[in-house]
């Protein structure tokens, strides 16, 4: 920069400014007259609250927590004012907006947040929206142009009657969220272009008036899904599959699904295992499968009550499964029990292009036992590599 001007191309300047935190972005206005309002045209905005924390005060000073809370309240007020001023001064479209709160908002804060989201939705330009620790109002359903929605530590209630869906939404990520069946179904069933959906730590806002959907409903809601991830425990509708239903193919299988990530799996729990097998059987183009295993109860309990002859689902019942495109299998918290081994053997035998099987175990002895039990298992792929990982090193088979 020389004499208050710069010779950098405009598109490069914009890319640089996009990477700056919002506070630093606004500070560029003091560089020169040319830069005074350049920040107002950046289409991606992120506001992340930074409050004074209560963890470090002197326990002997009983007034200090009160003082800090008052300071937090004033800082939050200034935080909201800054956002409002930014939205007023901003020129051009806002394509991406992030609002991350530091602590749960109060009722007064909720009113401010509601107004911010309402003003933002009226621009009708936001395509990517990321909110954290925000109590959502009906304004969230007014963002009709959304392609990406990421909500963390939020609460979603029933949508307004005027909600016609997120017609352009392709990516939906929900983390540690309170949502009932009706609100979840309304969003999924009114987002016809969804390609990526993940949900972690779902809390159900109790709503006994709405029945739990079935596993086949999920297939129908997500016809274009390519990437899917959720916790089995949080998705109760996937546990309704029983012995009779397990043999039935869904009316609309996941023909486009490439990546599946399941948390809270338990190979010793019949419903979880049948759900998993049903899903991979209905995903003929699956390329990556990641499972986070959860032992059902205490490991000692299972070792005492069940020997290796016990497992709830006979893998021979699924001998017709063929995973022509599966490249990678990863299992976290892998336990060297027969249900776990039988599942891995099934995948090895039915995946002709499989390259990597990564099994994360809890200690070195478990890793060696696991590798010995799988080393001679039939493999459809000549290039597959079995990797045992216990954190202290890796062994390959």
Number of domains in the chain: 1
- What's the pLDDT tens digit per position in 44-69? 888 888 755 545 555 456 666 677 67
pLDDT at 139: 80
Looking at residues 116-139, what average pLDDT do you find?
87
Residues 27, 31, 32: CA angle, nearest 5 degrees: 130
Residues 146, 148, 154: CA angle, nearest 5 degrees: 95
Percent share of the chain, pLDDT over 70: 68
Both tokens assigned to 163: 């909600």
Residue 339 lies in a domain: yes
- Judge whether residue 145 has pLDDT over 90: yes
Q: Domain residues for 323?
A: 258-397
- Average pLDDT in the chain: 77
The whole-angstrom separation of Cα 293 and Cα 308 is 18
pLDDT at 88: 83
DSSP H helices in 212-337: 215-221, 243-246, 270-281, 299-305
Full DSSP string of 23-46: HHHHHGGGS-TTTTTGGGG-SEEE
Report the CATH number at residue 309.
3.80.10
Residue 308 lies in a domain: yes
The whole-angstrom separation of Cα 270 and Cα 59 is 51
Looking at residues 9-18, what average pLDDT do you find?
60
Residue 34 lies in a domain: no
Looking at the DSSP assignment, which residues form a beta bridge with residue 265? 293
Looking at residues 74-85, what average pLDDT do you find?
84
Looking at residues 83-112, what average pLDDT do you find?
82
Q: 141-150, 197-206, 237-246, 250-259 — which one is most confidently predicted on average?
A: 141-150
pTM of this prediction?
A: 0.82
Residue 324 lies in a domain: yes
pLDDT band for 200, please (50, 70, 90 cuts): confident
The whole-angstrom separation of Cα 308 and Cα 303 is 9
pLDDT at 130: 94
Both tokens assigned to 84: 């409002």
pLDDT at 245: 47
Full DSSP string of 313-329: S-GGGGTT---TT--EE
Q: How far is CA 173 from CA 195, 198, 201, 288, in A?
A: 11, 5, 11, 19
pLDDT at 285: 95
Looking at residues 125-134, what average pLDDT do you find?
91
Q: Residue 341: which H helix or E strand, with range?
A: helix 338-350
- Judge whether residue 249 has pLDDT over 70: no
Residue 313 lies in a domain: yes
The whole-angstrom separation of Cα 348 and Cα 354 is 8
Residue 148 lies in a domain: no
Cβ neighbours for 286, distance < 8 A, ≥ 6 positions apart: 254, 257, 258, 259, 260, 280, 323, 325, 326
Looking at residues 2-27, what average pLDDT do you find?
57
Residue 272 lies in a domain: yes
pLDDT at 96: 93
Best CA proximity match to 170, nearest among 184, 190, 144, 149? 149
Q: For residue 216, which phi and psi values (nearest 5 degrees)?
A: -70, -25
pLDDT at 24: 60
pLDDT at 325: 97
- Judge whether residue 25 has pLDDT over 90: no
Contact 327, 289 (CB under 8 A): no
Cβ neighbours for 6, distance < 8 A, ≥ 6 positions apart: 13, 34
Best CA proximity match to 291, nearest among 353, 238, 228, 221? 228
Looking at residues 268-283, what average pLDDT do you find?
80
pLDDT band for 281, please (50, 70, 90 cuts): confident
pLDDT band for 133, please (50, 70, 90 cuts): confident
Q: What is the 3-state secondary structure (H, E, C) of 209-227?
A: CCCCCCHHHHHHHCCCCCE
- Judge whether residue 236 has pLDDT over 50: yes
- Judge whether residue 196 has pLDDT over 90: yes
Residue 253 lies in a domain: no
Looking at residues 218-236, what average pLDDT do you find?
83
- Judge whether residue 21 has pLDDT over 50: yes
């Amino acid at each position: 920069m020389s004499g208050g001007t710069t010779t950098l191309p405009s598109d490069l300047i914009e890319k640089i400014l996009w990477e700056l935190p919002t506070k630093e972005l606004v500070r560029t206005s003091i560089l020169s007259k040319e830069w005074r309002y350049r920040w107002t045209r950046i289409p991606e905005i992120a506001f992340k609250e930074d409050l004074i924390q209560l963890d470090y005060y002197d326990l002997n000073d009983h007034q200090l927590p009160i003082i800090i809370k008052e300071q937090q309240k004033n800082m939050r007020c200034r935080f909201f004012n800054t956002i409002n001023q930014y939205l007023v001064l901003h020129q051009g479209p806002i394509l991406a907006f992030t609002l991350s709160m530091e602590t749960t908002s109060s009722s007064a804060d909720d009113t401010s947040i509601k107004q911010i989201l309402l003003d933002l939705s009226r621009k009708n330009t936001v395509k990517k929206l990321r909110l954290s620790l925000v109590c959502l109002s009906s304004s969230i359903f007014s963002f009709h142009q959304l392609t990406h929605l990421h909500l963390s530590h939020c609460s979603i209630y029933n949508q307004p009657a005027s909600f016609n869906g997120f017609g352009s939404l392709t990516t939906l990520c929900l983390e540690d969220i309170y949502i009932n069946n009706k609100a979840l179904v309304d969003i999924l069933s009114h987002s016809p272009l969804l390609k990526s959906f993940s949900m972690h730590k779902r809390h159900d806002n109790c709503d006994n008036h709405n029945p739990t959907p079935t596993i086949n409903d999920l297939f129908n809601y997500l016809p274009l899904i390519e990437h899917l991830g959720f916790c089995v425990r949080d998705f109760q509708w996937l546990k309704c599959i029983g012995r009779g239903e397990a043999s039935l193919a869904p009316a609309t299988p996941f023909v486009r699904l490439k990546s599946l990530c399941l948390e809270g799996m338990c190979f010793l729990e019949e419903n979880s295992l049948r759900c998993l097998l049903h899903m991979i059987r209905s995903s003929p183009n699956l390329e990556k499968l990641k499972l986070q295993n959860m032992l059902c109860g205490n490991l000692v309990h299972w070792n005492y009550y069940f020997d290796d002859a016990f497992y709830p689902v006979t893998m021979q019942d699924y001998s017709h499964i063929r995973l022509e495109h599966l490249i990678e299998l990863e299992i976290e918290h892998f336990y060297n029990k027969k249900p776990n081994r039988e599942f891995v053997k099934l995948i090895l035998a039915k995946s002709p292009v499989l390259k990597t099987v990564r099994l994360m175990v809890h200690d070195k002895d478990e890793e060696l036992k696991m590798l010995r039990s799988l080393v001679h298992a039939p493999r459809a792929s000549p290039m597959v590599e079995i990797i045992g990982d216990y954190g202290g090193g890796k062994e390959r088979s």
